[in-house]
Copies of this chain bind each other. A is one copy, B any other.
Amino acid sequence: MAKITKVSPLAPAQFPNLPAIDGVRFATAQAGVRYAGRTDVMLAHLAPGSTMAGVFTRSTTRSAAVEDCAAKIGLESDAGAAILVNSGNANAFTGQRGFDAVMEIAKATAARLGLPAERVFTSSTGVIGEPLAWDRITAKLDDLSTALDQADAGMEAAARAIMTTDTFPKGATATADLDGTEVTIAGFAKGSGMIAPDMATMLSYIFTDTAITRDVLQQILWLENAKTFNCITVDSDTSTSDTVLVGATGRADMAPITEFTDPRVAPFRAALAQVMHDLALQIARDGEGATKLIEIQITGANGNGPAHRVAMAIANSPLVKTAVAGEDPNWGRIVMAVGKSGERAERDRLTIWFGDILVAENGWVAPSYSEESGAAYMKKDHITIRVDLGLDNGTATVWTCDLTHGYIEINADYRS
Protein backbone atom coordinates (compact mmCIF):
# COMPACT_ATOMS: atom_id res chain seq x y z
CA MET A 1 0.00 0.00 0.00
CA ALA A 2 1.22 3.46 -0.89
CA LYS A 3 2.38 5.52 2.03
CA ILE A 4 0.14 8.56 1.99
CA THR A 5 1.27 10.79 4.78
CA LYS A 6 0.00 14.16 3.61
CA VAL A 7 -3.43 15.14 4.87
CA SER A 8 -5.92 16.40 2.26
CA PRO A 9 -5.74 20.20 1.94
CA LEU A 10 -9.55 20.12 2.14
CA ALA A 11 -9.61 18.40 5.55
CA PRO A 12 -11.42 20.09 8.44
CA ALA A 13 -9.08 21.78 10.94
CA GLN A 14 -9.77 19.06 13.47
CA PHE A 15 -11.98 16.07 14.24
CA PRO A 16 -15.25 17.41 15.68
CA ASN A 17 -15.99 17.08 19.36
CA LEU A 18 -18.50 14.23 19.24
CA PRO A 19 -20.81 13.65 22.18
CA ALA A 20 -21.25 10.18 23.66
CA ILE A 21 -24.49 8.47 22.65
CA ASP A 22 -26.20 6.89 25.62
CA GLY A 23 -26.19 3.13 25.11
CA VAL A 24 -23.27 2.93 22.65
CA ARG A 25 -19.67 1.99 23.55
CA PHE A 26 -16.59 1.63 21.37
CA ALA A 27 -13.31 -0.23 21.42
CA THR A 28 -10.43 -0.56 18.98
CA ALA A 29 -7.48 -2.91 18.60
CA GLN A 30 -4.31 -3.52 16.62
CA ALA A 31 -4.97 -6.93 15.12
CA GLY A 32 -2.34 -6.74 12.37
CA VAL A 33 -4.79 -7.78 9.64
CA ARG A 34 -2.58 -6.01 7.13
CA TYR A 35 -1.26 -2.81 8.67
CA ALA A 36 1.39 -2.69 11.37
CA GLY A 37 1.58 -0.08 14.11
CA ARG A 38 -1.98 1.18 13.90
CA THR A 39 -5.47 0.15 14.98
CA ASP A 40 -7.35 -1.85 12.39
CA VAL A 41 -10.36 -3.27 14.20
CA MET A 42 -13.30 -1.31 15.61
CA LEU A 43 -16.02 -2.78 17.81
CA ALA A 44 -19.22 -0.91 18.69
CA HIS A 45 -21.77 -2.25 21.14
CA LEU A 46 -25.37 -1.02 21.24
CA ALA A 47 -27.47 -1.63 24.34
CA PRO A 48 -30.51 -3.96 24.42
CA GLY A 49 -33.54 -2.34 22.80
CA SER A 50 -31.55 -0.62 20.04
CA THR A 51 -32.97 -0.62 16.52
CA MET A 52 -30.76 -0.92 13.46
CA ALA A 53 -31.13 0.25 9.85
CA GLY A 54 -28.73 -0.11 6.94
CA VAL A 55 -28.09 0.49 3.25
CA PHE A 56 -25.54 -1.44 1.20
CA THR A 57 -23.70 -1.43 -2.13
CA ARG A 58 -25.72 -2.45 -5.16
CA SER A 59 -22.64 -4.03 -6.75
CA THR A 60 -23.32 -7.51 -8.12
CA THR A 61 -19.96 -8.62 -6.71
CA ARG A 62 -20.55 -7.48 -3.15
CA SER A 63 -18.55 -8.87 -0.28
CA ALA A 64 -19.48 -11.63 2.16
CA ALA A 65 -19.83 -9.12 5.01
CA VAL A 66 -22.28 -7.02 3.01
CA GLU A 67 -24.36 -10.06 2.11
CA ASP A 68 -24.43 -11.08 5.76
CA CYS A 69 -25.43 -7.59 6.97
CA ALA A 70 -28.14 -7.28 4.31
CA ALA A 71 -29.62 -10.61 5.42
CA LYS A 72 -29.69 -9.53 9.06
CA ILE A 73 -30.68 -5.88 8.90
CA GLY A 74 -34.43 -6.46 8.60
CA LEU A 75 -34.69 -8.75 11.64
CA GLU A 76 -36.37 -7.48 14.79
CA SER A 77 -34.57 -8.04 18.10
CA ASP A 78 -34.40 -6.46 21.55
CA ALA A 79 -31.06 -8.06 22.36
CA GLY A 80 -28.86 -5.11 21.46
CA ALA A 81 -26.29 -5.24 18.66
CA ALA A 82 -22.61 -5.09 17.79
CA ILE A 83 -20.72 -3.73 14.80
CA LEU A 84 -17.26 -5.10 14.09
CA VAL A 85 -15.19 -3.54 11.31
CA ASN A 86 -11.70 -4.31 10.09
CA SER A 87 -9.54 -2.30 7.72
CA GLY A 88 -6.76 -3.58 5.43
CA ASN A 89 -8.66 -6.46 3.79
CA ALA A 90 -12.11 -6.25 2.15
CA ASN A 91 -12.78 -10.01 2.29
CA ALA A 92 -14.41 -9.60 -1.13
CA PHE A 93 -14.22 -12.17 -3.94
CA THR A 94 -12.81 -14.64 -1.47
CA GLY A 95 -15.32 -17.44 -2.13
CA GLN A 96 -16.61 -19.78 0.53
CA ARG A 97 -13.63 -18.95 2.74
CA GLY A 98 -14.84 -15.36 2.81
CA PHE A 99 -18.28 -16.38 4.04
CA ASP A 100 -16.71 -18.69 6.59
CA ALA A 101 -14.58 -15.80 7.87
CA VAL A 102 -17.66 -13.63 8.41
CA MET A 103 -19.38 -16.47 10.26
CA GLU A 104 -16.37 -17.07 12.51
CA ILE A 105 -16.07 -13.38 13.40
CA ALA A 106 -19.79 -12.94 14.03
CA LYS A 107 -20.02 -16.13 16.09
CA ALA A 108 -17.03 -15.29 18.27
CA THR A 109 -18.14 -11.69 18.78
CA ALA A 110 -21.67 -12.78 19.67
CA ALA A 111 -20.38 -15.34 22.17
CA ARG A 112 -18.06 -12.84 23.82
CA LEU A 113 -20.75 -10.14 24.11
CA GLY A 114 -23.71 -12.39 24.94
CA LEU A 115 -25.59 -11.55 21.73
CA PRO A 116 -27.27 -13.76 19.13
CA ALA A 117 -25.02 -14.01 16.04
CA GLU A 118 -27.67 -12.35 13.88
CA ARG A 119 -27.14 -9.14 15.91
CA VAL A 120 -23.48 -8.87 14.98
CA PHE A 121 -22.90 -6.74 11.86
CA THR A 122 -19.47 -6.84 10.26
CA SER A 123 -17.72 -4.79 7.58
CA SER A 124 -14.33 -5.24 5.96
CA THR A 125 -12.49 -2.67 3.86
CA GLY A 126 -9.20 -2.85 2.01
CA VAL A 127 -7.73 -5.06 -0.68
CA ILE A 128 -10.10 -7.28 -2.70
CA GLY A 129 -9.44 -10.95 -3.43
CA GLU A 130 -7.08 -11.90 -0.62
CA PRO A 131 -8.08 -14.23 2.23
CA LEU A 132 -8.94 -12.49 5.50
CA ALA A 133 -6.93 -13.67 8.49
CA TRP A 134 -10.07 -13.71 10.62
CA ASP A 135 -8.32 -15.44 13.52
CA ARG A 136 -6.18 -12.33 14.06
CA ILE A 137 -9.44 -10.46 14.68
CA THR A 138 -11.10 -13.04 16.93
CA ALA A 139 -7.86 -13.27 18.93
CA LYS A 140 -8.43 -9.64 19.95
CA LEU A 141 -12.02 -10.08 21.15
CA ASP A 142 -11.12 -10.41 24.83
CA ASP A 143 -9.10 -7.18 24.67
CA LEU A 144 -11.89 -5.44 22.76
CA SER A 145 -14.53 -6.57 25.21
CA THR A 146 -12.47 -5.38 28.17
CA ALA A 147 -11.90 -2.04 26.47
CA LEU A 148 -15.67 -1.70 25.87
CA ASP A 149 -16.28 -2.13 29.58
CA GLN A 150 -13.64 0.47 30.39
CA ALA A 151 -15.25 2.77 27.81
CA ASP A 152 -11.81 4.02 26.89
CA ALA A 153 -12.38 4.56 23.14
CA GLY A 154 -14.53 7.29 21.65
CA MET A 155 -15.72 7.82 18.10
CA GLU A 156 -12.49 9.44 16.95
CA ALA A 157 -10.51 6.33 17.82
CA ALA A 158 -13.21 4.24 16.15
CA ALA A 159 -13.08 6.43 13.04
CA ARG A 160 -9.29 6.09 12.83
CA ALA A 161 -9.37 2.29 13.11
CA ILE A 162 -11.45 1.89 9.93
CA MET A 163 -9.36 4.19 7.68
CA THR A 164 -7.58 2.83 4.57
CA THR A 165 -6.32 5.48 2.12
CA ASP A 166 -8.19 8.15 4.08
CA THR A 167 -5.95 11.04 5.10
CA PHE A 168 -8.15 12.14 8.01
CA PRO A 169 -10.85 10.57 10.22
CA LYS A 170 -14.38 11.77 9.50
CA GLY A 171 -16.99 12.52 12.17
CA ALA A 172 -20.17 14.59 12.45
CA THR A 173 -22.92 15.29 14.94
CA ALA A 174 -26.26 17.06 15.22
CA THR A 175 -29.10 17.37 17.70
CA ALA A 176 -32.84 17.58 17.17
CA ASP A 177 -35.66 18.79 19.37
CA LEU A 178 -38.33 16.09 19.20
CA ASP A 179 -41.39 17.62 20.82
CA GLY A 180 -39.36 18.90 23.78
CA THR A 181 -36.84 16.07 24.01
CA GLU A 182 -33.37 16.78 22.70
CA VAL A 183 -31.88 13.79 20.90
CA THR A 184 -28.34 13.46 19.69
CA ILE A 185 -26.96 11.92 16.49
CA ALA A 186 -23.27 11.28 15.96
CA GLY A 187 -21.33 9.11 13.58
CA PHE A 188 -18.25 8.58 11.54
CA ALA A 189 -17.23 7.36 8.10
CA LYS A 190 -14.32 6.24 5.98
CA GLY A 191 -13.74 6.50 2.26
CA SER A 192 -11.53 8.28 -0.22
CA GLY A 193 -11.34 6.08 -3.32
CA MET A 194 -13.60 3.62 -5.16
CA ILE A 195 -16.26 6.20 -4.43
CA ALA A 196 -19.37 6.40 -6.57
CA PRO A 197 -23.04 5.90 -6.02
CA ASP A 198 -25.03 2.68 -5.80
CA MET A 199 -24.63 3.37 -2.95
CA ALA A 200 -21.84 5.88 -2.38
CA THR A 201 -18.78 3.77 -1.83
CA MET A 202 -17.77 3.99 1.76
CA LEU A 203 -18.44 2.80 5.28
CA SER A 204 -20.36 4.87 7.80
CA TYR A 205 -21.72 4.16 11.26
CA ILE A 206 -24.15 6.58 12.85
CA PHE A 207 -25.67 6.39 16.32
CA THR A 208 -28.48 8.13 18.15
CA ASP A 209 -30.30 7.90 21.44
CA THR A 210 -33.60 8.47 19.66
CA ALA A 211 -36.37 5.95 20.33
CA ILE A 212 -37.56 4.86 16.90
CA THR A 213 -38.75 1.61 15.36
CA ARG A 214 -36.63 -0.25 12.87
CA ASP A 215 -38.96 0.23 9.92
CA VAL A 216 -39.31 4.00 10.35
CA LEU A 217 -35.55 4.37 10.85
CA GLN A 218 -34.91 2.29 7.72
CA GLN A 219 -37.31 4.36 5.64
CA ILE A 220 -35.67 7.63 6.74
CA LEU A 221 -32.21 6.21 6.01
CA TRP A 222 -33.21 5.21 2.48
CA LEU A 223 -34.59 8.64 1.73
CA GLU A 224 -31.67 10.61 3.11
CA ASN A 225 -29.04 8.26 1.67
CA ALA A 226 -30.32 9.12 -1.80
CA LYS A 227 -29.53 12.78 -1.18
CA THR A 228 -26.21 12.42 0.66
CA PHE A 229 -23.96 9.39 0.30
CA ASN A 230 -25.43 8.51 -3.10
CA CYS A 231 -24.57 12.03 -4.32
CA ILE A 232 -20.82 11.87 -3.94
CA THR A 233 -18.30 10.43 -6.36
CA VAL A 234 -14.54 10.44 -6.38
CA ASP A 235 -13.70 8.23 -9.34
CA SER A 236 -16.96 6.62 -10.57
CA ASP A 237 -15.81 3.28 -9.17
CA THR A 238 -18.22 1.44 -6.88
CA SER A 239 -16.92 -0.70 -4.05
CA THR A 240 -17.95 -4.23 -3.22
CA SER A 241 -18.26 -3.30 0.46
CA ASP A 242 -20.28 -0.08 0.85
CA THR A 243 -22.22 -0.01 4.07
CA VAL A 244 -24.09 2.57 6.14
CA LEU A 245 -25.49 1.42 9.47
CA VAL A 246 -27.58 3.56 11.79
CA GLY A 247 -28.23 2.39 15.34
CA ALA A 248 -30.80 4.00 17.63
CA THR A 249 -30.55 3.08 21.32
CA GLY A 250 -33.85 4.59 22.44
CA ARG A 251 -32.26 5.91 25.64
CA ALA A 252 -33.66 9.43 25.18
CA ASP A 253 -36.62 10.28 27.39
CA MET A 254 -39.36 9.94 24.80
CA ALA A 255 -42.11 7.69 23.58
CA PRO A 256 -40.80 5.75 20.58
CA ILE A 257 -41.43 7.00 17.07
CA THR A 258 -43.41 4.16 15.50
CA GLU A 259 -44.97 5.76 12.40
CA PHE A 260 -43.44 7.64 9.49
CA THR A 261 -46.26 10.19 9.87
CA ASP A 262 -45.17 11.07 13.45
CA PRO A 263 -44.51 14.86 13.52
CA ARG A 264 -41.17 14.18 15.24
CA VAL A 265 -39.91 12.42 12.09
CA ALA A 266 -39.25 15.73 10.33
CA PRO A 267 -36.81 17.22 12.88
CA PHE A 268 -35.13 13.83 13.43
CA ARG A 269 -34.79 13.32 9.73
CA ALA A 270 -33.33 16.81 9.26
CA ALA A 271 -30.71 16.19 11.94
CA LEU A 272 -29.80 12.76 10.54
CA ALA A 273 -29.59 14.28 7.06
CA GLN A 274 -27.22 16.94 8.40
CA VAL A 275 -24.87 14.31 9.84
CA MET A 276 -25.01 12.21 6.66
CA HIS A 277 -24.43 15.27 4.45
CA ASP A 278 -21.49 16.35 6.60
CA LEU A 279 -19.88 12.88 6.47
CA ALA A 280 -20.52 12.51 2.72
CA LEU A 281 -18.82 15.83 1.98
CA GLN A 282 -15.87 14.89 4.16
CA ILE A 283 -15.43 11.80 1.99
CA ALA A 284 -15.45 13.93 -1.17
CA ARG A 285 -12.98 16.30 0.51
CA ASP A 286 -10.71 13.32 1.19
CA GLY A 287 -11.02 11.99 -2.36
CA GLU A 288 -7.73 10.42 -3.35
CA GLY A 289 -5.43 13.24 -4.43
CA ALA A 290 -8.13 15.90 -4.02
CA THR A 291 -7.17 19.56 -3.96
CA LYS A 292 -10.64 21.02 -4.70
CA LEU A 293 -14.17 20.15 -3.64
CA ILE A 294 -16.53 20.41 -6.63
CA GLU A 295 -20.27 20.92 -6.12
CA ILE A 296 -22.48 20.39 -9.16
CA GLN A 297 -25.99 21.81 -9.11
CA ILE A 298 -28.41 20.91 -11.88
CA THR A 299 -31.75 22.65 -12.36
CA GLY A 300 -34.34 22.71 -15.13
CA ALA A 301 -33.96 19.02 -15.97
CA ASN A 302 -36.59 16.67 -17.25
CA GLY A 303 -37.03 15.18 -13.73
CA ASN A 304 -34.85 14.60 -10.69
CA GLY A 305 -33.47 11.32 -12.02
CA PRO A 306 -32.24 12.89 -15.26
CA ALA A 307 -30.84 15.82 -13.24
CA HIS A 308 -28.86 13.39 -11.06
CA ARG A 309 -27.48 11.57 -14.12
CA VAL A 310 -26.41 14.80 -15.81
CA ALA A 311 -24.76 15.90 -12.56
CA MET A 312 -22.93 12.59 -12.30
CA ALA A 313 -21.81 12.79 -15.96
CA ILE A 314 -20.13 16.10 -15.12
CA ALA A 315 -18.80 14.88 -11.76
CA ASN A 316 -17.27 11.75 -13.30
CA SER A 317 -15.78 13.43 -16.37
CA PRO A 318 -11.98 13.11 -16.22
CA LEU A 319 -11.72 16.17 -18.45
CA VAL A 320 -13.85 18.34 -16.14
CA LYS A 321 -11.98 17.07 -13.07
CA THR A 322 -8.54 17.69 -14.57
CA ALA A 323 -9.59 21.17 -15.73
CA VAL A 324 -10.58 22.03 -12.15
CA ALA A 325 -7.27 20.60 -10.93
CA GLY A 326 -5.50 22.94 -13.35
CA GLU A 327 -7.66 25.92 -12.23
CA ASP A 328 -8.74 26.20 -15.86
CA PRO A 329 -12.28 27.65 -16.35
CA ASN A 330 -12.77 25.26 -19.27
CA TRP A 331 -16.55 25.41 -19.49
CA GLY A 332 -16.52 23.71 -22.90
CA ARG A 333 -15.81 20.46 -21.08
CA ILE A 334 -18.99 20.97 -19.03
CA VAL A 335 -20.96 21.31 -22.27
CA MET A 336 -19.30 18.11 -23.47
CA ALA A 337 -20.22 16.25 -20.27
CA VAL A 338 -23.86 17.37 -20.45
CA GLY A 339 -23.94 16.18 -24.05
CA LYS A 340 -22.61 12.71 -23.25
CA SER A 341 -24.91 12.05 -20.28
CA GLY A 342 -27.55 10.34 -22.38
CA GLU A 343 -30.24 12.54 -20.83
CA ARG A 344 -32.31 15.04 -22.76
CA ALA A 345 -30.57 18.38 -23.21
CA GLU A 346 -30.87 21.15 -25.75
CA ARG A 347 -27.66 22.93 -26.49
CA ASP A 348 -29.26 26.33 -26.97
CA ARG A 349 -31.26 26.18 -23.70
CA LEU A 350 -28.29 25.45 -21.44
CA THR A 351 -27.16 28.04 -18.93
CA ILE A 352 -23.88 27.54 -17.09
CA TRP A 353 -22.46 29.39 -14.08
CA PHE A 354 -19.26 29.15 -12.03
CA GLY A 355 -20.65 30.04 -8.59
CA ASP A 356 -22.58 33.26 -9.34
CA ILE A 357 -20.67 34.04 -12.51
CA LEU A 358 -22.81 33.57 -15.62
CA VAL A 359 -20.60 31.75 -18.13
CA ALA A 360 -22.72 30.59 -21.05
CA GLU A 361 -26.29 30.86 -22.27
CA ASN A 362 -28.24 30.66 -25.55
CA GLY A 363 -25.73 28.22 -27.04
CA TRP A 364 -22.86 30.63 -26.66
CA VAL A 365 -20.55 32.25 -24.13
CA ALA A 366 -22.39 34.95 -22.11
CA PRO A 367 -21.51 38.48 -23.28
CA SER A 368 -20.81 39.48 -19.67
CA TYR A 369 -18.37 36.62 -19.06
CA SER A 370 -14.66 37.23 -18.92
CA GLU A 371 -11.98 34.58 -18.86
CA GLU A 372 -10.29 36.56 -16.07
CA SER A 373 -13.31 36.29 -13.75
CA GLY A 374 -13.59 32.57 -14.50
CA ALA A 375 -9.89 32.02 -13.87
CA ALA A 376 -10.08 33.93 -10.57
CA TYR A 377 -13.06 31.83 -9.47
CA MET A 378 -11.23 28.56 -10.20
CA LYS A 379 -8.59 29.42 -7.61
CA LYS A 380 -11.11 28.74 -4.81
CA ASP A 381 -10.96 25.39 -3.06
CA HIS A 382 -14.74 24.84 -3.24
CA ILE A 383 -15.90 25.16 -6.85
CA THR A 384 -19.62 25.29 -7.61
CA ILE A 385 -20.68 24.43 -11.17
CA ARG A 386 -24.32 25.26 -11.90
CA VAL A 387 -26.13 24.12 -15.02
CA ASP A 388 -29.74 24.92 -15.87
CA LEU A 389 -31.06 22.70 -18.66
CA GLY A 390 -34.05 24.94 -19.37
CA LEU A 391 -36.44 22.02 -19.83
CA ASP A 392 -38.49 21.38 -16.68
CA ASN A 393 -38.23 21.40 -12.88
CA GLY A 394 -35.84 18.50 -12.15
CA THR A 395 -32.98 19.27 -9.78
CA ALA A 396 -29.98 17.49 -8.27
CA THR A 397 -26.80 18.34 -6.40
CA VAL A 398 -23.74 16.12 -6.26
CA TRP A 399 -20.21 16.54 -4.95
CA THR A 400 -16.87 15.32 -6.19
CA CYS A 401 -13.22 16.34 -6.15
CA ASP A 402 -10.65 17.15 -8.78
CA LEU A 403 -8.43 14.57 -10.53
CA THR A 404 -4.76 15.12 -9.83
CA HIS A 405 -1.38 13.48 -9.88
CA GLY A 406 -2.13 12.44 -6.30
CA TYR A 407 -4.87 10.05 -7.50
CA ILE A 408 -2.45 8.39 -9.91
CA GLU A 409 0.25 8.16 -7.23
CA ILE A 410 -2.11 6.48 -4.78
CA ASN A 411 -3.72 4.06 -7.21
CA ALA A 412 -0.90 3.00 -9.49
CA ASP A 413 0.84 1.63 -6.42
CA TYR A 414 -1.99 0.54 -4.07
CA ARG A 415 -1.01 -3.09 -3.51
CA SER A 416 2.74 -2.70 -3.77
Q: How many copies does the complex hold?
A: 2
A5 contacts chain B at the CB level, 8 A cutoff: no
Q: Are B236 and A317 in contact (CB under 8 A)?
A: yes
A127 contacts chain B at the CB level, 8 A cutoff: yes
Query: In the assembled complex, which residues on chain B have CB atoms less than 8 Å from the CB atom of A12?
Result: none
A331 contacts chain B at the CB level, 8 A cutoff: yes
Number of A residues whose C-beta is below 8 Å from B?
A: 70
- Which chain B residue has the least Cβ–Cβ distance from A344? B60
Q: Are B326 and A416 in contact (CB under 8 A)?
A: yes
- Which chain B residue has the least Cβ–Cβ distance from A329? B415
Q: Which of A46-90 contact B (CB under 8 A)?
A: 57, 59-62, 90
* Cβ contact of A364, chosen from B61, B97, B413, B416, cutoff 8 A: B97
Q: Are A237 and B336 in contact (CB under 8 A)?
A: yes
Q: Which of A312-343 contact B (CB under 8 A)?
A: 316-319, 322-323, 325-326, 328, 330-333, 335-341, 343
- Quote the shortest CB–CB distance from A228 to chain B (angstroms): 19
Q: Are B240 and A336 in contact (CB under 8 A)?
A: yes
Given A59-B340, A96-B364, A339-B61, A411–B129 Cβ distance below 8 Å?
no
Q: Are A92 and B335 in contact (CB under 8 A)?
A: yes
* Cβ contact of A330, chosen from B316, B323, B344, B415, cutoff 8 A: B415
Query: In the assembled complex, which residues on chain B have CB atoms less than 8 Å from the CB atom of A339?
Result: 57, 59-62, 238, 240
Bound Cα distance from A61 to B343, whole angstroms? 11
Q: Are A318 and B235 in contact (CB under 8 A)?
A: yes
Bound Cα distance from A198 to B337, whole angstroms? 13
Query: In the assembled complex, which residues on chain B have CB atoms less than 8 Å from the CB atom of A337?
Result: 237
Q: List 24 A-B contacts (CB under 8 A).
A: A59-B336, A59-B340, A61-B335, A62-B339, A90-B332, A92-B332, A93-B332, A93-B363, A94-B363, A95-B362, A98-B363, A129-B332, A196-B340, A236-B318, A237-B318, A238-B339, A318-B318, A318-B403, A322-B408, A322-B412, A326-B412, A328-B412, A328-B416, A407-B408
By Cβ-Cβ distance, the 8 closest A-B pairs, closest first, are: A128-B332, A95-B364, A326-B412, A61-B339, A59-B339, A238-B340, A322-B411, A129-B332
